[in-house]
Amino acid sequence: VLLVGTVLTLLYLYLARFRNHWKDQHVPHESYALLFGPMLKMLFQPFHEIDIERYRKYGNVFGIFESGRPTLFVADPTLVKQVLVKDFLLLPNRRTTKFLHPLLDNMLFVVPFDRWKVIRRISTPAFSSGKLRKMMVHVESCTRSTIQHLREAAERNEDLNLSQFYGNFTLDLVARCAFGTMLESHSDQSNEFVSYGTKAFGEGISFASVIFFLWPGLAKLLRLKFFNQKTLIYFKKLSFSVMNNRRRERTKQDDFLQLMVDAQESDMLFGDVEEEKYSDFDHDSQFQTDNAMTSKILSEDEALAQCMTFLLAGQGTTQMTIAFTLYLLALNQDAQEKLRKEVDDCFENHGPNPDCDVIFKLQYLHGVVSETLRMFPPGSRHEREATEDYVLGDTGIKVPRGCVIVVPVYALHHDPEYFPDPFTFKPERFYGENASSIQPYTYLPFGAGPRNCIGLRLALQAVKFCLFHSIRHAEFVRTSKTMVPLNFFKGFGIISSSNVTVGVRKRGV
């Protein structure tokens, strides 16, 4: 008994070695909690709600404890730039996440810096202006199908769950671009891809996912699985089959999957690939790497993993951005009518098929999408992990090696100092003189620095194109089934809700 007691005491002292870390540095912080504090919050509240409560209580720089280890929250714009941009080489990684599966552990947004440099460089050409223009064929085709089903729903004056309805649109688009597979999700819910694609996104949080997040070592010891294994096997087999068919038949397509095929089978020389800036959404994303020529730059698992990245990072975020936008427009009819007038004028001035370049330059559409991304950013926070002991700029605040620095994006986006009346939908914030007054590093829907979202331009183009045609062909209204406010999934991941229901009504166009 004495031996057991001694061992447990020593174990606790080791695990609690950071209990005074923030107190000793005079950093505002939550009370120390080794186990149940952070776990209980994650099980019962969405991340973005937890973060904004902390932000209001402790200010723009504060500490918490996750599994007994210190985590620093940084929301001062100058320090945000320090973390995401200036000190990128000191903080090159996101939070260490081990899914214990090669298809997941090799995804772009979780791989460590050394492999990230290679994979990012190979993946970047897929999102160049030329490639995006070619992929617009898929965006247009998926949009046409979606609008046909939208018009049918409007004819029947239906209440439509936007998150499910536009989930079909984004799943079809991801299937074509990342898996070389043609779908019609709206009318074929029994399709295997649709079934497994839906299963790829867990609704809410589980005890196992909390273990993965807070104690990855324990998750490995217990051999916990974060994703449904049948789902992973299906997508691996599908990608492998399409890749092999293209090699055997020597066919090529203008999609992301083709880039992964080329990266595996041929010697590839990468010169300087420019990652173009994209309006308000891109902050200092350029990162210079050495030119590289190697044979089979990506392993099979790495190539397949990037297709999975496309699904996991692109499907839910694009789907929810469209859903949240139309939800906000249903609640704000004046804004919806103003956008509809801009859309109608565009058709009048440019004919029945306005060019995508014209659509993407529409000022009020840009404001509407930007404001939606402010109110409902795809990710509620951005995280970086210290590879060595780190000191935050001139503050002198120390972050131990292996600990995480969090930028609470949702909290920043809802700070009245930066965005007055932050819970009111105001698209005007993002164009004209108002746009130039937004303080840098307070608006970060896609991150900042070299490790920002690689697919932001494709996502924005898909969102704007689909919204443009949706507003043209239907009206969106609040009904008795419209939830105000929305209920969000608890825990981490993207900000999402399973029930974003509004009424759709026919337009006389």
pLDDT value at residue 401: 96
The residues, any chain, with a CB within 8 Å of residue 450's CB and separated by 6 or more, are 88, 120, 284, 285, 286, 287
Beta pairing partners, 93: 385
Three-state DSSP string of 98-127:
CCCCHHHHCCCCCCCHHHHHHHHHHHHHHH
pTM exceeds cut of 0.75: yes
From residue 367, alpha-carbon distances to 360, 428, 430, 434 in Å are 11, 6, 5, 11
From residue 509, alpha-carbon distances to 87, 322, 471, 473 in Å are 53, 22, 11, 7
Question: Dihedral angle at the C-alpha atoms of 102, 107, 109, 110, nearest 10 degrees?
Answer: 10
Is 453 assigned to a binding site?
yes
pLDDT value at residue 287: 61
From residue 222, alpha-carbon distances to 211, 218, 226, 491, 494 in Å are 10, 6, 12, 21, 26
From residue 424, alpha-carbon distances to 58, 332, 386, 419 in Å are 24, 10, 36, 10
pLDDT value at residue 479: 98
Query: Is the separation of the CB atoms in 91 and 236 below 8 Å?
Result: no
The CA distance from 350 to 336, in Å, is 21
The CA distance from 267 to 139, in Å, is 31
Query: Domains (ranges, CATH) in the chain?
Result: 2-506 (1.10.630.10)
pLDDT value at residue 293: 45
- Residue-wise pLDDT tens for the chain (509 aa)? 677 777 766 766 667 889 999 999 999 999 987 766 666 777 788 899 999 999 999 999 999 998 889 999 999 999 999 999 999 999 999 998 888 788 889 999 999 999 999 899 888 888 888 888 888 999 999 999 999 999 999 999 999 999 999 999 999 999 998 888 888 888 888 788 888 887 776 555 666 777 777 777 777 777 777 777 788 888 888 888 888 888 888 888 878 888 888 877 654 544 444 445 555 666 666 665 554 444 457 888 888 899 888 888 888 899 999 999 999 999 999 999 999 999 999 999 999 999 999 999 999 999 999 999 999 999 899 999 999 999 999 999 999 999 999 999 999 999 999 999 999 999 999 998 899 999 999 999 999 999 998 889 999 999 999 999 999 999 999 999 999 999 998 877 789 998 999 999 998 65
Beta pairing partners, 416: none
